[in-house]
Amino acid sequence: MGDLLKDKRALITGGSRGIGKSIALAFAGEGAQVAIADYGDEAVAAETVEELKALGSYAAFALKGDVSDPEFAKVAAIHMKDIFGRCDVLVNNAGITDDGLLLRMTPESFERVLRINLTGAFLMTKEISALMMKQKRGGIVNMSSVAGVKGNAGQANYSSSKAGLIGLTLTTAKELGSRGITANAIAPGFIDTAMTQALNDRQREASIAAIPLGRPGTPEDIANLAVFLASDRASYITGQVICVDGGMII
């Protein structure tokens, strides 16, 4: 518990579970008021909101919707303005996988993953950065992946979406830097969440064997960097892609 994010207002997509939840809790523990936006189970989101309130984010709230729906991004921006008065930090974390070899992957699967992982982040950035521009400050953190930096067999859709997020991050940093807005990407490696628990034993073992530090990462490993990037201590850092992967990338 600290005050690195004291009084900051943050919106975290996919914040009810996994990496997003860890980030939400870490932000609240550092003094932020936190909103989360998810697609699925409202009871899970409500539980996370209670945990956020217990950590001091007394005005925490959850939004239910699909980040790839342009209307949802507009609604999210309106809620941030009406409830929190502003948005200082946006974490584009919501994401899905739908793995399969390139030759067998359907165009529908490819487009769905791109739509949620990449178009979703674009839409949220567009609406929320409009708020940030009026404030003349803000920080955006996009959840990319090591798969977006070096590709991954069986993940043509996912790797493309995560590589696209890096392009979005760099362009956002260039376009909005003059307005006091930073944009950075985190590229996690193999992190222990529902997403990786869905892999079979062989896939898990192969992934862990490629990690110099010899263990999967935890959601907290990612949250530690997200807190720093969202804080004023990172106010001169923009357009960066930082791997948090136990050395998997090297």
193 binds ligand NAP (CB under 6 A): yes
Closer of 16 and 231 to ligand NAP (Cβ): 16
Q: Is 158 labeled as catalytic in the residue annotation? A: yes
What value, to the nearest 5°, has the Cα angle with vertex 34 and ends 80 and 25?
165
Please, which residue, 30 or 221, has the CB nearer to ligand NAP?
Answer: 221
Strand partners, 38: 64
Our finding on whether 164 is near ligand NAP (CB under 6 A) is no
Can residue 194 be called a binding residue for ligand NAP (CB under 6 A)?
A: yes
Separation between Cα atoms, residue 163 and residue 84, nearest integer Å: 32
Q: How many residues bind ligand NAP (CB under 6 A)?
A: 28
* Choice between 32 and 124, CB closer to ligand NAP: 124
Residue 188: name the closest of 156, 214, 160, 226 by CA: 226
- Pick the binder of ligand NAP from 33, 48, 93, 182 (CB under 6 A): 93
Which tokens belong to 91? 């974490």
Rounded CA separation 149/145 (Å) = 7
Q: Give the shortest CB-37-to-ligand NAP separation in angstroms.
A: 6
Residue type (1 letter), 197 = Q
Is 249 a binding residue for ligand NAP by CB under 6 A? The answer is no
Contact mark string toward ligand NAP, 99..128, x via CB under 6 A: -----------------x------------
Examine residue 139 and tell whether it contacts ligand NAP (CB under 6 A): no
Joined together, the tokens standing for residue 179 give 């307005």
Closest CA to 211 of 188, 230, 228, 195: 188
The answer to whether 88 and 181 have CB atoms below 8 angstroms apart is: no
Name which position in 33, 76, 95, 221 contacts ligand NAP (CB under 6 A).
95
| Long-range contacts at 74-79 (CB < 8 A, ≥ 24 apart) | 74/127, 76/11, 76/35, 76/37, 76/124, 76/127, 76/128, 77/127, 77/128, 77/130, 77/131, 79/35
Stretch that binds ligand NAP, among 4-12, 17-25, 101-109, 129-137 (CB under 6 A): 17-25
Query: Given candidates 125, 145, 157, 169, which one binds ligand NAP under the rule CB under 6 A?
Result: 145
**CB neighbour list of residue 183: distance below 8 Å, 6 or more residues apart:** 125, 139, 140, 141, 142, 169, 170, 172, 173, 176, 238, 239
Q: Which of 5, 10, 11, 13 binds ligand NAP (CB under 6 A)?
A: 13
Build a one-symbol-per-residue string for 51-90: x at contacts with ligand NAP by CB under 6 A, - elsewhere.
---------------xxx----------------------
- What is the binding site for ligand NAP (CB under 6 A)? 13-14, 16-20, 37-40, 66-68, 93-96, 116, 143, 145, 188, 190-191, 193-196
Active site residues: 158
